[in-house]
Every structure is written in C-alpha cells, then in structure tokens.
C-alpha cells in the first residue's frame, strides 16, 4: 500500500492491484484502500463519485464469490471501519462525526456503526434507539437499560457482534415487544451405540404461540444444536413461513471462565442471514445447549420482528 501510494506521488500512473488484495502470493495492493486514498485523500481522479460509492458493495461481492469471510477491520470497506463504542466517543460523534471519522462513510458505500458494550454510555443507547427506529428513550428508561446492559456484560454477554440480540433487549426493556412464541420445554437425546458408530441426535421442542396454540415437534440433526434448530423451525414454519429463508452463517463458542474445564460458562455467538441482511445473536450459560437456544431464539425472533 505504502509503495503504491508513493509510486503514484512519484509519477506512476498504472497501479497493480486487486479487490481486497486477493491475488498472487507476493501481495497485490488492495484497490479498496488504494482508490479512496488516491481520490479522497490526495485528489486524483480514479472513479466517478457514484462508482466510488459502490466500493463496499464490490468488496463484499468479491469475497462472497471467493467464499471468504469479510475482513471487519479492512480500511474504508470493513464493518468496523466507522464503528464507535465508548460513551464519550459516541457522544462526540453524535455532535460532529468529523471528530472521529476521517471521511464520510457513504463516500465509499459504508455506514457509521455504534457498538454496545460495558463501555457504553447514554449516548450509545440514544443512538441505537434512533438507529432501530424506536421512540426517543427517556432518561429513566435509558438508565435502566444501561444498568441491565452492564449486568448482562458482567455475566458474559457481548453485544458488539450481536446487535440483533441487543435490539430485542432494548424493545423488551421499553415494553414494546411481544415474543412470537413462548418455550414450554425442550429435550435432546444423543445416542451412540458402538465406538465406530455415528452419534445419533434427536430433539423435541414444545412451544406456545400468542393465540394459545401448542406445537410439539421432534426432529433429527447432526448434533444437538442442529437438531434443536430443526425442531424449532418445524414447530414454527406453519405459523411463520418467513423463517424458511433464514440460514446460519457462523456459530462460535467461547469459554468464559478458563480453569473450570467442561464445567465452564460459555458464550455462543450465531450469525444468521436471509437474502437481504445478516445479523448476530448471543446466548450465555454454563450449559452450551441452553446458550445455543438463547441465540437461536433471538435469531428467529429478530427475523420475525423485521418482517
């Protein structure tokens, strides 16, 4: 990158680069950084402004075709390129984005993000409420939500990568959310009959819908979380057909209390998506299945909320 920029400054007019830096092994320069650096920072004409505004879209498209995960911290086009977390930080950005953002994110097709964590202040809450299209949060409601957030964070929840779970938490705290269903109970059976045999998993789920209808379903899966997911979808699909296009893109388990071995608390982060968007949800428990259930339920409820 540095060599490329300096070469242009020295008179070069042909830049060897590729989208996201994908290319031969010596490392071609990343055009997603070269182009905005040259055009926005140094005043060179590389692309018409409307084409420059599609840079993030092109970056993500190439990664999708290459079946690669998007690099969140990539300059200009990454999800974290214009992300803000600390309370004072967010308060300043709300007054003047120039205090922390070196360019207008929309110039490269990106957008400003406010993250939620135990570093959050009331400014974060207000900004997220605005982003979610909620009514302005009162001082008292904001203080209650901030207290709840910090309690959740201390118990292991993390909302930076699980904004869908946080939006649900905000709406529940404000009393403006009705769950799409209520858990009556679930049971999972994992059976292995011989050392060389494949483990068999079956999940049974019983839920109650807002109209009082009880659905009781059973499904097989290639593991307890998959079986639980299949059984839940089977129970809901007749009432909420829109969930059929929800797919799981990533599933991560993080140990929270090292040293306790298999008795440790865990955090489960799930990234889900449909044709139009992706969203993250989180669950925390000493039981990995319970944590997974929390994240799965938030994922489905977020889909239904947005639909």
Mean pLDDT, rounded, for 283-306: 93
Q: What is the 3-state secondary structure (H, E, C) of 173-187?
A: HCCCCCCCCEEEEEE
Pair 218, 206: CB distance under 8 Å: no
Would you give the DSSP letter of residue 155?
T
| Residue 291: band (very low, low, confident or very high) from pLDDT cuts 50, 70, 90 | very high
pTM over 0.75: no
Q: pLDDT tens-digit profile of 212-259?
A: 999 999 999 999 999 999 999 999 999 999 999 999 998 989 888 766
Look at residue 121 in the predicted model and tell me its pLDDT: 60
What six digits make up the tokens of 200? 């068999």
Query: What is the reported pLDDT for 229?
Result: 94
**What percentage of the chain has pLDDT greater than the value 90?**
47
pLDDT at position 217 is 96
Encode pLDDT of 184-215 as tens digits: 999 999 998 888 888 899 999 999 999 999 99
Segment 267-285 shows an average pLDDT of 91
The full set of domains in the chain, from first to last, is 2-65 (no CATH), 83-149 (no CATH), 155-177+246-307 (3.30.160.340), 181-239 (3.30.160)
Taking the chain, what is the end-to-end CA distance rounded to the nearest angstrom?
A: 42
DSSP state of 276: S
- Of residues 268, 288, 264, 289, the one with CA closest to residue 188: 289
Q: Give me the residues paired with residue 113 across strands.
A: 83
> What residues form DSSP beta bridges with 187?
204
Considering only residues 60 and 126, tell me which one the structure prediction assigns the higher pLDDT.
60
What tens digit of pLDDT does each residue of 160-176 get?
778 899 889 888 877 78
Both tokens of 38, joined, read: 């040259």
- Assess contact for 229 and 251: CB atoms under 8 A: no
- How confident is the model over 69-128, as pLDDT tens digits? 788 899 999 988 888 776 677 777 777 888 888 999 899 998 877 766 555 566 667 677
pLDDT in tens, 34-45: 999 999 999 999
Q: If you search the block for the tokens 């925390």, which residue do you land on? A: 284
pLDDT for position 122: 63
- Burial level of 66, CB count in 10 A (0-12/13-18/19+)? exposed
Q: What's the pLDDT at 150?
A: 74
CA 1 to mean position of chain CA atoms: 29
Q: How many percent of the chain have pLDDT more than 70?
A: 88
User: Which of 16-25, 100-109, 233-242, 282-291 is least confident?
Assistant: 16-25
């Amino acid at each position: 990158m540095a060599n490329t920029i300096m070469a242009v400054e020295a008179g070069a007019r042909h830049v060897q680069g590729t989208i996201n830096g994908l290319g031969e092994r010596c490392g071609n320069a990343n055009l997603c950084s070269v182009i905005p650096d040259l055009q926005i920072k140094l005043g060179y004409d590389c692309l018409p402004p409307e084409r420059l505004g599609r840079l993030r879209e092109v970056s993500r498209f190439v990664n999708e075709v290459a079946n690669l995960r998007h690099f969140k911290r990539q300059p200009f086009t990454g999800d974290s390129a214009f992300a803000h977390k600390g309370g004072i930080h967010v308060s300043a950005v709300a007054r003047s984005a120039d205090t922390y953002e070196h360019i207008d994110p929309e110039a490269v097709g990106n957008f400003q993000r406010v993250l939620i964590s135990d570093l959050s202040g009331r400014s974060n809450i207000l900004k997220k409420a605005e982003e979610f299209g909620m009514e302005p949060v009162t001082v008292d409601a904001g203080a209650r939500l901030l207290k709840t957030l910090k309690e959740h964070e201390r118990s292991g929840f993390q909302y930076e990568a699980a904004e869908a779970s946080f939006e649900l938490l905000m709406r529940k705290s404000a009393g403006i959310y009705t769950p799409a269903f209520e858990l009556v109970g679930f049971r999972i059976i994992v059976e292995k009959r011989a050392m060389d045999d494949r483990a068999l998993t079956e999940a049974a789920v019983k839920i109650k819908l807002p109209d009082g209808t009880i659905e009781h379903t059973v499904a097989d899966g290639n593991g307890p979380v998959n079986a639980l997911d299949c059984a839940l979808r089977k129970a809901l699909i007749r009432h909420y057909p829109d969930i059929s296009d929800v797919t799981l893109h990533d599933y991560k388990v993080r140990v929270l209390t090292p040293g306790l071995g298999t008795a440790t608390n865990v955090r489960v982060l799930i990234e889900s998506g449909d044709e139009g968007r992706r969203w993250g949800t989180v669950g925390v428990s000493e039981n990995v299945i319970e944590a997974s259930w929390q994240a799965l339920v938030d994922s489905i409820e977020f889909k239904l909320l947005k639909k």
